[in-house]
Amino acid sequence: MAAQHDGQRPPLPPFTEETARQKVRAAEDAWNTRDPRRVALAYTPDSRWRNRSEFLTGRERIAEFLARKWDRELEYRLIKELWTHDGDRIAVRFAYEWHDEAGRWFRSYGNENWEFAPDGLMARRHASINDVPITAEERLFHWPLGRRPDDHPGLTRLGL
């Protein structure tokens, strides 16, 4: 997400549509680094998560979870899109593509609900995710690993 300033991680709540979109893109960019420690810094030290059926509390557990995730989900590429926002909360929908060690491709679809602390760090994250097997030919996310290029279509333009 955005760089920290004076212990804060802007944009800060309450969110406008513009700042909510900035927060969503910053989160997408961070997750596309696949760097568990960097991503975990966007969360409060006592952040609470529900990811599928796993419940986590704290940055260290989040970083451990993300390391396991990206060891298993190879060539991970993610797109997030703002769904709605209000005050200190943002809801997003997302999709990501990845393959397993056997080379089987998947597209994972989901929704996240985020709640932020006043300093702009995420205090709560609730994610619901479904994995759909796809063929390599069905893949839609074709940028080099890392940040999605600005000219690559988002979920709506891709028909997802």
Nearest alpha-carbon partner for 88 in 140, 135, 44, 154: 44
Q: Which amino acid is at 92?
A: V
pLDDT score at 1? 43
Q: Are strands 105-116 and 89-99 parallel, antiparallel or unpaired?
A: antiparallel
Three-state secondary-structure class, residue 84: strand
CATH topology of domain 17-140: Nuclear Transport Factor 2; Chain: A, (3.10.450)
The HSE-up count of residue 87 (CA atoms within 13 Å, CB side) is 3
Long-range CB contacts (within 8 A, 24+) of 130-136: 131/106, 131/107, 132/106, 132/107, 132/108, 133/104, 133/105, 133/106, 134/97, 134/105, 134/106, 134/107, 135/105, 136/105
pLDDT score at 6? 61
pLDDT one digit per residue (tens) for the chain, 160 residues: 445 556 799 999 999 999 999 999 999 999 999 999 999 999 999 999 999 999 999 999 999 999 999 999 999 999 999 999 999 999 999 999 999 999 999 999 999 999 999 999 999 999 999 999 999 999 999 999 999 999 999 999 999 9
Calpha distance 9→6 (Å, rounded) = 8
Q: Is the separation of the CB atoms in 118 and 15 below 8 Å?
A: no
DSSP type of residue 74: E
